[in-house]
Each structure stands twice: as structure tokens, then as C-alpha cells.
Chains A and B, each alone.
Chain A
């Protein structure tokens, strides 16, 4: 089952540093994964996705790594900027679903100028 907690994991970095946000997903049958960014008062915004037949995918300043053996996903943000400050969620297509997402609890990233 899922753990319940009111306190998000937090990551605080200096502007210009690289950030790594980690996520453990729950269902080995999930085959599509998405990272979302959520700013205060807004809905989640798509950042990058990856299919299970890949172990790495790069976007602009972001890289997602997938380790299916240990069911682990990470998001790397290069040269982190103050505008990157937000809550970051990983999501999996619940057990291979073609419509339902299961979300992790999120990580709060704070970028210090």
C-alpha cells in the first residue's frame, strides 16, 4: 500500500547547480512514465516522458533515467534556475493502463539565487 505523509521530501539547491529528483514507482507492469512540474496554484505541467523500452531520455536541460530492475525513476535538471522551483511528481501508467496515471507523492525543489 501507499505510505501517507503530510511532509513532502525537499531538495534545496543553489542556482546553477544540477538537481536530481528521485522516484520509486510501484507497479512492474507500468510501461510509461512521466515527470510533471507543479507550481503553486497551478495544475501539473508535463516535463518529459519515457517508455519502458528506454533507460534514458533527454530534453532541454532535463534528463529522465529509468531503472526497471529496481523500479526507480530519476529526473535530472541541469543548471537549475529559480524558475525551476516547484513540486515535481513522477507518474506511471498504472500497470500498463492506457488512460490512468498513478502519481508519486512529489518532491519540493527550492532553488536559491
Chain B
């Protein structure tokens, strides 16, 4: 597609439920990233994919968070047993190739997650 597409744009969930957030990167972008943006904060790195593998998962806050990427394209970020502190905007980005630096690093509009 023309840009990075994320769905849903907004999600309200009850505490303890699982949620799945989807990211569809720019066609041809092999690198994909997830970031989290809490209220009034900068972006916090969560995970990096190169193709279908995730060389860096160091930013995932707990084992309730997981992500996968299939076919070198769409990625899903899953949060299990959501907690109120998980409320944030989850942003996905993609770029041509992580190994060639950060050129063309393009963000989607994010999914705003609210845990009630």
C-alpha cells in the first residue's frame, strides 16, 4: 500500500482481555517496528522484525506482549490479560531494510488502546 496501515485505529477493552493489533507495512519494506507512545511521552521501542524474524525483542515490557510477522508482510502485536497500564498508542513503522539504516522509516497512524 501507499503507507503503513494499522487496525483498529481505536480499541477499548476490559482489563484481563486479550487484544490483537495489526500492522500492514509499505509494500517491499522488509523491516518492521513496533513502538508504544504513552500519554505525553515520546515513543518507546518494543520490537524489530527483519523479514519474519525478530532480532530484537528487548523492548517488550513483559511476557504478556508478543508479536509475529508472516510472509514478510503483516505483523500482529498481541497483548494478553491486558492491564490499565497497557493503555497507550501503539505505533508501527516500516523501512526498506533495517540493515541499511533508518532511511524511509515510515510510521502508521497507530492504534489507540484503552483498557478499562
Chain A contact surface mostly: loop
The stretch among B67-75, B78-86, B95-103 that forms the contact with chain A is: B95-103
Q: Is the CB of A99 within 8 A of B31?
A: yes
User: Is there a chain A Cβ closer than 8 Å to B4's Cβ?
Assistant: yes
The answer to whether A46 and B99 touch (CB under 8 A), given A6-B39, A105-B41, is no
> Which residues in chain B, 34-61, are within 8 Å of chain A measured between CB atoms?
35, 39-45, 48, 50, 56
Using Cβ atoms and an 8 Å threshold, which residues of chain B touch A12? none
Q: Is B33 a contact partner of A99 (Cβ separation < 8 A)?
A: yes
In the bound complex, CA of A34 to CA of B107 (Å):
13
Interface centre among B56, B91, B101, B108 (most CB of A within 10 A): B101
- Return chain B residues, CB-CB under 8 Å to A43: 4, 91, 93, 107-110
Contact residues, A1-34 vs B (CB, 8 A): 4-8, 32, 34
Instruction: Determine which of A6, A91, A99 lies in contact with B48 in the assembled complex, contact meaning CB atoms within 8 Å.
Output: A99
